[in-house]
Amino acid sequence: MNASYQRQTNHPTIKLLVALIAGWLLIGAPLPTQASASSKITSSPLSEEQLALRQFLKDGIEQASSFEDRFDAEVWLLDMSQRISPFIKDPEQRLPFLQNVHREASAAKLPPELVLALIQIESGFDRFAVSSAGAQGLMQVMPFWKNEIGRPDDNLSLVSTNLRYGCQILQFYLQRERGNYHRALARYNGSLGKSWYPERVFKAWRKRWYNGELSYTPVNSTP
């Protein structure tokens, strides 16, 4: 841990935030209620890739993880709480939100900072956002996936639910593209072959969320 983080924790405001963080870590953010899988699927036939994505979502939708080390949690949550403040003003709202992001990104083996950048571009942190194409929530998930994986009652405006869908979808595309973030993000946006969307996400990642401690960097890699 670098010295700047250690110096920051001596400030009274920082100590208050750390106390709030510790409380949220003890309480934990609630997971959404599991929906019934009894609804009949009536959508049109899917492509091979869509079928693979459907199975990937079904396998991963129940998974979750959290911080393994409390001190690392406090440092990360404190750092990101400051960075996300222009979008979420109330620190008591920021902390459970960030805890959710970290948990779902970790469950999908994604950098949580990348997920924050994607949310910034997709919805501006508005969990009720709906696109002209009907994509919903923080990570702008298309609602037809709820039926395709047998969970029609899932609410994509719920933070945990939306993050879990979005992170699992992005990880599927990342595996599909053999770790190429540029192409995976383009697939996520539905603009494979174009660079504008990955570049917007990478720019947001570098400008606001990248903390210099990742073992990977957001570069525009190509096959």
Digit-coded pLDDT (tens) for 126-145: 999 999 999 999 999 999 98
Judge whether residue 16 has pLDDT over 60. no
Q: Which amino acid is at 152?
A: P
Q: Are 185 and 201 in contact (CB under 8 A)?
A: yes
Listed residue (100, 113, 117, 112) closest to 164, CA to CA: 100
- 197-218 per-position pLDDT tens digit: 999 999 999 999 987 654 444 4
Residue 148's pLDDT band, with cuts at 50, 70 and 90, is: confident
* Alpha carbons 142 and 134: distance in angstroms, whole number: 6
The architecture in CATH of the region 3-28+48-209 reads Orthogonal Bundle (1.10)
For residues 150 and 140, the model is more confident at 140
Q: What is the pLDDT of residue 87?
A: 96
Q: Tokens 């959710």 map to which residue?
A: 100
Check pLDDT > 50 for residue 32.
no
Mean pLDDT of 66-78: 71
Are 97 and 159 in contact by the 8 Å Cβ rule? The answer is yes
Domain chopping of the chain, boundaries: 3-28+48-209
Cα atoms in the 13 Å half-sphere on the side-chain side of 115 = 30
pLDDT of 201: 96
